A and B are shown apart, each in its own frame.
Chain A
Amino acid sequence: QVQLQESGPGLVKPSETLSLTCTVSGGSLNPFYWSWIRQSPGRGLEWMAYLYYSGSTYYNPSLESRLTISIDPSRTQFSLKLTSVTAADTAIYYCTRGVGGRYHIDAFDIWGQGTTVTVSS
């Protein structure tokens, strides 16, 4: 079955860039949405961004200025880059698969196990 696995550093310094990758195994990238969601005690579950398998991207307006997501179909991976991080970006980061129609994401049906990222000097 389809599995998602996040990878990336667990510790990032303030003002630096957080980079995470999600590897999709056991299935195809299309025709799905691929998303990043984070969870912290202060913010709960927060949707960050998603992209359609064809490459269209959608960002949470509160993060859009610092966030970039991309997809690499050849490696069945998608990635996140969050710039200028602060302690407020400390969270568990999940990559997820979204299902829905061509123009509307409905739900997140598969989640990675999550990776904890701490922002600290």
Chain B
Amino acid sequence: DIQMTQSPSSLSASVGDRVTITCRASQSISSYLNWYQQKPGKAPKLLIYGASTLQSGVPSRFSGSGSGTDFTLTISSLQPEDFATYYCQQSYSPLLLTFGPGTTVDIK
């Protein structure tokens, strides 16, 4: 199995802050890495796929980078609607897709 870890597990930030979340895979996954945002009581929403491609309709303040085992999700200027939990997910191993444990971004 490819294990996904995320850091930090939670963070507090203010509107306007630049926020960076890290995701690490237990083995190289090339660029087969996706990011999702989940708000309380809602389903996850795809933000970024292929490590760095923004899903249609997602604001440009979100960006993703990385390849191999280390990836980052960056929110350039945090907005009130961005307070949520963020998950990474690998699709390198299509017979066992796995998610990270999540990073919760809350208001400082």
Contacts and interface: CB of A to CB of B under 8 A. Distances in A.
B43 A106 contact: no
Contacts of A44: 87, 99, 101-102
A108 interface: yes
B94 A104 contact: yes
Nearest to A99: B49
Contacts of B46: 107-109
Chain A contact patch, size range: 20 to 34
- Determine the main DSSP class of A at the interface with B: strand
B49 A60 contact: no
B18 interface: no
Given A46-B99, A47-B98, A107 B89 contact: yes
B55 A60 contact: no
Interface residues of B, number: 22
A45 B43 contact: no
Contact of B94 (A58, A111, A112): A58
Interface in A19-65: 44-47, 58, 60-61
A99 B34 CA distance: 12
A96 to B, nearest CB: 8
A119 interface: no
Interface of B: 32, 34, 36, 42-46, 49-50, 55, 87, 89, 91, 94-99, 101-102
8 contacts: A44-B101, A46-B99, A47-B98, A47-B99, A106-B32, A106-B50, A108-B46, A111-B45
Closest 10 A/B residue pairs (Cβ)? A111-B43, A45-B99, A107-B49, A47-B97, A107-B34, A109-B46, A105-B94, A106-B91, A114-B43, A44-B101
